[in-house]
Amino acid sequence: MTEFFGETYSYKQDIEKVKEILAQQHFNVEPYREKTEVLIQNNGKMIRALITILFGRYTLTVNQKNYDQETIFSIDQCAAAIELLHLATLVHDDVIDNAEKRRGLTTLQNFFGNKNTIYLGDILFTKYFYLLTSLAPSKEFIAYHSSAMEKVLTGELIQDALKFHKQTTLAEYYQAIKGKTATLFSLSAVSGVWLGKKNKQFDEDNLEFKNAFNFGYNLGMAFQMLDDLKDLNPLVKNGKPKFEDLKAGIYTLPIILTLKDKSFQKILSKSESNPFIIENYFIENPDYLKRCKDIIDHFLNEAQKALEFLIDSPESDQLNSLLTNLRLNLENYNI
């Protein structure tokens, strides 16, 4: 997590508060309590929580000119709620993917089986909504979150429907990752602004809401594509098994860009038994990975544009640092 964080600014205190809120999410049924609570407290990068906090604190400062501790607590609660929502989707993903590890820990279904792990993921969803109802300024806020949750699940369904589909288009891929990943990023940003403004209603024409949404959406799209490259780029050694998505029939950005190549179509058929054929293909045809970089750059540039409305502040500096970090990650992939 620390690679995304700077040396100063009180948002670190917010992150600690978010961790405290997450640590209070107890499971009362044995033997599930210990393993599930360890997973909750084994925080990942918490980027979504950070986005909520930064947009919330920035908006509160700009509109109120002073910090309102009650609103700050609501922002921290919302950040924790979104982390719970994200974790719930990951628990269900692990069942679907039959994953062995999550954040370095053995996944829950390896302890409790698929059926009970689905129930545990459902309980995480209920804890997300419980937190949400305690902080929501209006029913519209809860409805907005519910709509976002529906989009996340729809994105997962779209991805599943496209498995092993060799005519998958870039537009279909965008639609899938917009739902499964970018939606939570945009939800995080919009929620921060919403709470910081102390509005009961969402105004889609409001510049602050609009730019927060665009930042989250474009950052989320770039984040997912960058993650996809880790699975396929032969020059990236990240300590994880390669070609996991490919083996599952999930065609990500690099694969989709090459599907028009008829010779690659034949290679793709053979890759089911030997996925390293794909690695050799990308070594011999590096332009496809370079095009991936260009597409990711486009989304990062769009996210950057969405931050141009912010005045200079510690919060805007940290949001810009998130983009800088992703750009550095992209460059370090030697694409």
The mean pLDDT of the chain is 87
pTM for this predicted structure: 0.91
Closest CA to 45 of 193, 209, 184: 184
pLDDT in tens, 95-136: 877 777 776 778 888 888 889 889 988 999 999 999 999 999
Instruction: Please report, as a single letter, which amino acid is at residue 166.
Output: K
| Other Cβ atoms within 10 Å of 248 Cβ, number | 15
- Asked if residue 236 lies in contact with residue 230, where contact means CB atoms within 8 angstroms, the answer is yes
Per-residue tokens: 92: 């269900």
Pick the more confident residue, 46 or 230: 46
pLDDT in tens, 222-280: 999 998 887 776 556 554 566 778 888 899 999 999 988 888 888 887 766 677 788 88
Q: Residues with Cβ < 8 Å from 29, sequence gap 6 or more? A: none
Least confident of 16-25, 271-280, 307-316, 320-329: 271-280
Q: Which residues pair with 106 in a beta bridge?
A: 101
